[in-house]
Copies of this chain bind each other. A is one copy, B any other.
Amino acid sequence: MTKHLVFDVNETLLDVSALDPLFERLFGGSATRQEWFLTLQENWLTATIVDDYRPFGELAKSALAMVGRRRNIKVTSADEQSLINGIMTLPAHEDVAEALELLNSKGFTLAALTNSTLTAARKQLASAQLSVYFEHILSVDEVQRYKPAAEPYRMAARRLGVGTGEITMVAAHAWDITGAAAAGCRTAFVARPGKVINPAGAQPDYFGKTVLEVAQKL
């Protein structure tokens, strides 16, 4: 059993639904928050395929503009700044602190590996009062390739001083599980509301509805 756990941050540890009021104010409905996240996701997957890396915050803002364009609603730079401020101060899902505490006490080494920039990731985990649990806070920014490309997972393994086969990636996204598995990592899927694994893709080694449920199985 590996003792090195690498956590995805947005949606896995932090609750992105805290942005709903912003989307309600801008577009009159919080369902647009999911549309924004899927558009952002499309943009970073595309950026990775065409090898034209741009920082997460820039992609987050352009995805917001795209949601606006679909509705003929102008997104101002003040709206963009509200989005960025919101991302920086997302709360942790309520099970997370207890889960990380438990894992620390069981002797696991914990790292965070996010598509956010390093500066953003540090601010996010500090704001959510989770920094204390992590030995490493890592960003794809360092390798300029977004997950699910192999480079970020390999970089995380290097930083932890082990091979990719010795880390377990914990994530709420099917693409992150697929990418980590393809890079040779073990995987744990967190089935946050609305998140499902791809039945035709790599199946996770561990599964739970929360990080706490996963932590109890490790």
Which residues of A are at the interface with B, using a C-beta cutoff of 8 A? 38, 41-43, 45-46, 48-52, 54, 58-59, 61-62, 65-66, 69-70, 148-150, 174-175, 178-179, 182, 194, 196, 198-201
By Cβ-Cβ distance, the 8 closest A-B pairs, closest first, are A62-B200, A45-B45, A50-B182, A69-B196, A46-B175, A65-B199, A38-B38, A66-B196
How would you classify the secondary structure of chain A's contact residues: helix, strand, loop or mixed?
A: helix
Task: Establish whether residues B41 and A198, one from each chain, have CB atoms under 8 Å apart when the complex forms.
Answer: no
Measured in the bound complex, the distance between the Cα atoms of B66 and A50 in whole Å is 27
Known: A70-B194, A182-B52, A194-B70. A200 touches B59 (CB 8 A): yes
A175 touches B42 (CB 8 A): yes
The chain B residue with its CB closest to the CB of A63 is B198
Q: Chain B: which residue is nearest A200 at the CB level? A: B62
What are 19 A-B contacts with C-beta separation under 8 Å? A38-B38, A38-B42, A42-B45, A42-B174, A43-B174, A43-B198, A43-B201, A45-B46, A46-B148, A46-B179, A49-B148, A50-B178, A50-B179, A50-B182, A51-B182, A54-B200, A62-B198, A62-B201, A69-B196
Write the nearest CB–CB distance from A182 to chain B, whole angstroms: 4
Least CB distance, A185 to chain B, in whole angstroms: 12
